[in-house]
Amino acid sequence: MLADFRKLFRQSAIYGLGTLSTKLAGFVLIPLYTKSFSVAEFGVLGLLEVSAAVVISFFGFSLYSGFFRWYWDKSAEGKKESLFFTVTLFQIGIVILTYFAAQPFLKSFSQLILNSPDYTYLLRLMLISSLIQLVLVMPNTLLRLQEKPWLFALANLLQLIFSLIVTVYFIAFRHAGIEGIYYGQIAGSLAFASVLVRYSYRNMIFRFEGQLLRELLVYCFPLFMSGVALVMLNVTDRYSIEVLGNMADVGLYSYGFKLANTLNVFLITSINFAIQPMIYRMMNAPDNKRFYAKLLTYYTFGTMIFGLGMMVFGLEITKLFAKRIEYYDAWYIFPFIIYSIVFGMMKDVATTGLSISKKTKVIAVTVIITAALNLILNNILIRLMGNQGAALSKMLSMLVFFVLTLYFSQKVYPIPYEMKRITLMLVTAACLYTISLLFNSLDLIPRLGFKALLIGSFPFVLHLFRFYEPVELSRIRGGWNKWSKPSEFRENISRLTKK
């Protein structure tokens, strides 16, 4: 099992480089956005971003999930290359039909979503960018299935370079506004595609697998329904704020969400890229359930450390990236968004039993219930608490989502998850964050010092509550003895990264 976690760490680090390069453009450009765009314009960008998520979810049909499942299935033995061709061709067909079918309605969508027909061209750019990303999903998935993290990282690095150059050029020098963001996204996606064209071609056999596609689509349909509902769960906060508030409220919330969501973008997404193939590959291993249980515990531990850091330094992070004072109050939503991300990560791991058992209909039901709950909570809490109400609604909804997923998954495929330890981590982090609020009135230097000490105390506070098992304490002591000696750094790194 230790070898499995070492491999998981190694591949997560490499995938992290890839996803970092993909998302880094949007992250490092935040100061440019806050300087160039008013809060209301940032709200327009926020609504366009969530609309793009809806497009990708709805027209992606969760095909990548089915391809993931069937790639290791015995029925696809000897047909992997032709299945890849079949699913890719099917996705390209959906993309072409979607683009031409949407053109007559873009002006109406602009009025409906953004309260003005003047954003029709922006919607067209968003649609093009989203549909190109959809085409790239299948080669991206194949990279993960074949465990090609270095090629993944290379393609994403090229995407970063093109996206950054084009976006900065159009916004900073051509003053193109939000349009410049989509020019950059399209350029980056085309650069990404240029790297993977040859790789995709080499992994295709031009034979259409109609029977496998039908089976895959039947499997994917509940996941598609749940995926759409999940996206709606994740985007209705901004739509609801726009309806119950104004575009400036959407902008402030979108800014805070974009910053807090870096936990998901840079950490969780990277680890998930490595985890998903490993989960399916180990589903027939004799100790797989113990691996899944420990995975949730250690995954939550690592995520919670980074999440606690972002919550505690939320005020400083918000001010660091904002070039206008009206963006500063966005840090208030940080704890709710961070915890919603953590609950979402836990839900993804808890889905393991349902995915292995092919109980995708249950997943769809839990998502739909959660999405409906989120709509109700948004309607109530946004009226009472504004932006914080939307963030609180998201957190509560994701908690319910995790609990429902865990309950149904345990009924069909019991896994001995360590829920007492996980609960202890969540409660301890919440308490430390609450204490950190007492230091926000201090000057910058002492404030940073006290907050850093609070974050560093997290694993030690857990130790006071007997969180660690004896074998874990032994491993920690052994790790400290190895890594505390600078002369052995090279050897330790070599041991960690070797296959």
- Could you report the per-residue pLDDT of 6-51, keeping only the tens digit for each? 555 554 554 444 455 555 666 778 888 998 998 989 999 989 988 8
* pLDDT of 137 higher than 90: no
**Dist CA 475 CA 458 (whole Å):** 18
Helix (H, G, I), strand (E, B) or coil at 38: coil
Q: What percentage of the chain has pLDDT greater than the value 70? A: 88
Please tell me the predicted confidence (pLDDT) of residue 18.
Answer: 47
> Lowest-confidence range among 49-53, 95-99, 125-129, 175-179?
49-53
What pLDDT was estimated at residue 25?
Answer: 64
* pLDDT tens track for 100-112: 999 999 999 999 8
Domain ranges of the chain: 2-417
The reported pTM is 0.77
Q: What is the mean pLDDT of residues 253-257?
A: 92
Looking at residue 66, its pLDDT comes to: 78
pLDDT digits over 372-420, tens only? Answer: 899 999 999 999 999 999 999 999 999 999 999 999 999 989 999 999 9
pLDDT at 486: 67
Q: What's the confidence (pLDDT) of residue 488?
A: 62
**DSSP label at residue 73:** S
User: Could you identify the residue written with the tokens 């009924």?
Assistant: 411
Among 221, 278, 284, 205, smallest CA distance to 66 is for 221
**Alpha-carbon gap, residue 486 to 33, rounded angstroms:** 41
Instruction: Place 142 in a pLDDT band, splitting at 50, 70 and 90.
Output: confident
- The number of beta carbons lying within 10 Å of the beta carbon of residue 330 is 28
Indicate the pLDDT class of residue 489, thresholds 50, 70 and 90.
low
First vs last Cα of the chain: how many Å apart? Answer: 14
pLDDT at position 166? 93
Question: Does residue 93 carry a pLDDT above 70?
Answer: yes
The one-character DSSP state at 204 is: -
Provide mean pLDDT across the span 47-69: 83
Residue 79: partners with Cβ closer than 8 Å, 6 or more residues away: 209, 212
Q: What is the DSSP string of 312-354?
A: HTHHHHHHHH-SSGGGGGGGGGHHHHHHHHHHHHHHHHHTHHH
The number of angstroms, rounded, from the C-alpha of 281 to the middle of its chain's C-alpha atoms is 22
Mean pLDDT across the stretch 151-170?
86
The string over 453-471, giving b where at least 16 C-beta atoms fall within 10 Å of a residue's C-beta and e elsewhere, is ebbeebeeebeeeebeeee
List pLDDT tens digits, range 472-483: 888 777 776 666
| Mean per-residue pLDDT over the chain, rounded | 85
pLDDT value, residue 159:
85
pLDDT at 431: 97
- Sequence-separated (6 or more) residues with CB below 8 Å from residue 213: 83, 86, 87, 90
Band (256; pLDDT cuts 50, 70, 90): very high
Averaging pLDDT over each range in 5-9, 98-102, 145-149, which range is the top one? 98-102
